[in-house]
Structure 1
């Protein structure tokens, strides 16, 4: 792969080769960020891969009702029913492949799903919850730039093709080379396939990554190229899309952001399910549940310096709210339900591995046990397995 093929494309520089971006997952988050990135007048064309809402999007586009930008209609460059359709009927190259589906590594390998879309000029962008979500993509595409992203947004799809953005637009972007090597205690030993793992986190890659018959791509190149692509997306979202709070970090900084969001997700998501369906504010106001939530967050807080090799939330106080500040803020968010509870109530698979299983395994590989998080993981995973067995008529 030539160095030129990995460079970020310049919109408008070559009118015969516009920038083509495809979002894999046309839910609320994907549709909102796609709508702020689609600028045909600047030769930036955004397409969507949709499933349940495919018909609505092809007929009417996306109807957005936003707190930040008013109401408007987003008409994508194209809408495809599958990645295979986007590969066969698309523009012939995808500069950015942005994945906004739920991270369900125990159910499907989304890195295999997007394989037909990835070409020599592609960059993969992952806007997903949890930690360790990047590693399957790095293992499958060792020489492809990857941008890892964390978003703080309140948005929902109220009906097929209609998205309401309630609060926040913040998104953090950073390169990913091989940080998920934190998932194993050895560069040479694979992740064990025993009782404490289902293989959702793959073995780490060596410090020099070989891409089939091509010359090796080192981690510095991946980080440099990924950072350039992250900056390009940030520029488009800011200067063209009007999103003010787009933040670009280096790789360790972005992973720190991921683990900070995990403090919130890992505490509130499973607890909402296990508490019988209580919302975030309701849990934060209950004395015993509040103590429990704070304990989960503190456990992650204390594990992070060892897991991330010295990185600490305290190093960036202006960005990293502590457990008590998070709880006080949550008290005001009356009526909000975390995504895991919404999935549980709808009978959908939950992001158990990305939010709970992966961090437990990654920390354990660094010699850190997180008993509170492991307890939540074991119980929620069991609840899901029992319900699915019952639905299939199986025995417990």
Structure 2
């Protein structure tokens, strides 16, 4: 259960005989004080076997284990779990990444607006839609299929955020504000690299990746200088 693209590859290389279940979770929640989490209005988890180029037997075993894992989640009182095949799960991962790559770094670069505030801003809404569109267009070309009908359209994603009155912020802004490193490579770097490997471009995504990467580098350098001066 992790954001971004290509996150299964290190495990697949290290444990080639193991079944890998890929998953993403979309949730609206906020930690309003230490140890207290407020759940706002949704949680949705998608899971599917990670079986690139696997034969039928391996795929069948991975599918069975994915279904068994979903059953455990249901038994634990987590009903909102969608089971997908390998291709479907990769589309779900690209879709989640498109939303994250648009909303998360934009919140950092714009200095912390809420999710709703970003999509209600006329210029930012244009920007967010454009980032999501270019990433999903590349996803369809790389995966060789049109975007599945069951995935929410960009307009529906934007409308859902417009209706979110919880005041929540993207997780990347929360990490940035707390002085932590952000999910730069998983959310922005990996989509860029996958696109380039296929001779494709993500110009808007590349721009925000370059800006945020430099911003994080400068902050880390400043922290090193301040720490050295204090010592």
Normalising by the residue count of structure 2, what TM-score does the alignment of the two structures yield?
0.91
The 1:348/1:221 distance shift into structure 2, 3 A limit, reads farther
Contact persistence 2:30–2:168 (CA under 8 A): no
**TM-superposed deviation, 1:234:** 1.1
The 1:383/1:219 distance shift into structure 2, 3 A limit, reads farther
Q: Is structure 2 residue 212 aligned with structure 1 residue 338?
A: no
- Which residue among 86, 104, 107 is the counterpart of 1:272? 107
Q: Report what 1:378 is aligned to.
A: 210
Q: Report what 1:176 is aligned to.
A: 50
Post-superposition Cα deviations, 1:313-352, rounded to whole Å, max 9, x if no partner, equal 2x32xx3222222112111223110011111100001000
SS of the aligned residue for 1:294 comes to helix
- Larger mean Cα displacement after TM superposition, 291-300 or 152-161: 152-161
- Cα distance in structure 2, aligned partners of 1:325 and 1:390: 41
- Cα distance in structure 2, aligned partners of 1:234 and 1:265: 24
Post-superposition Cα deviations, 1:211-242, rounded to whole Å, max 9, x if no partner, equal xxxxxxx554443222111100111222x223
SS of the aligned residue for 1:367 comes to coil
- Which residue among 103, 120, 128 is the counterpart of 1:285? 120
Structure 2 unaligned spans of 5+: 227-231
Greater relative CO, 1 or 2 (CA 8 Å, sep 6+): 2
Q: Is structure 2 residue 67 aligned with structure 1 residue 236?
A: no
Q: Report what 1:356 is aligned to.
A: 188
The 1:381/1:222 distance shift into structure 2, 3 A limit, reads farther
- Cα distance in structure 1, aligned partners of 2:56 and 2:206: 34
SS of the aligned residue for 1:132 comes to coil
Structure 1 unaligned spans of 5+: 1-126, 179-206, 208-217
- Which residue among 15, 24, 32 is the counterpart of 1:150? 24
Contact persistence 1:169–1:243 (CA under 8 A): no
Post-superposition Cα deviations, 1:184-235, rounded to whole Å, max 9, x if no partner, equal xxxxxxxxxxxxxxxxxxxxxxx6xxxxxxxxxx554443222111100111
Q: Report what 1:39 is aligned to.
A: none
**TM-superposed deviation, 1:292:** 0.6
SS of the aligned residue for 2:40 comes to strand
Contact persistence 1:303–1:368 (CA under 8 A): yes
**TM-superposed deviation, 1:146:** 0.5
Q: Report what 2:59 is aligned to.
A: 223
Contact persistence 2:101–2:205 (CA under 8 A): yes
Q: Report what 1:213 is aligned to.
A: none
Contact persistence 2:28–2:168 (CA under 8 A): no
Q: Report what 2:229 is aligned to.
A: none
The 1:236/1:289 distance shift into structure 2, 3 A limit, reads same
Q: Report what 1:251 is aligned to.
A: 86
Structure whose residues are more often strand by fraction? 1
Normalising by the residue count of structure 1, what TM-score does the alignment of the two structures yield?
0.54
Q: What is the total number of aligned residue pairs between the two structures?
A: 225
SS of the aligned residue for 1:143 comes to coil
Q: How does 1:76-95 map to 2 (within 5 A)?
A: none
Contact persistence 1:148–1:175 (CA under 8 A): yes
Structure whose residues are more often helix by fraction? 2
Larger radius of gyration: 1
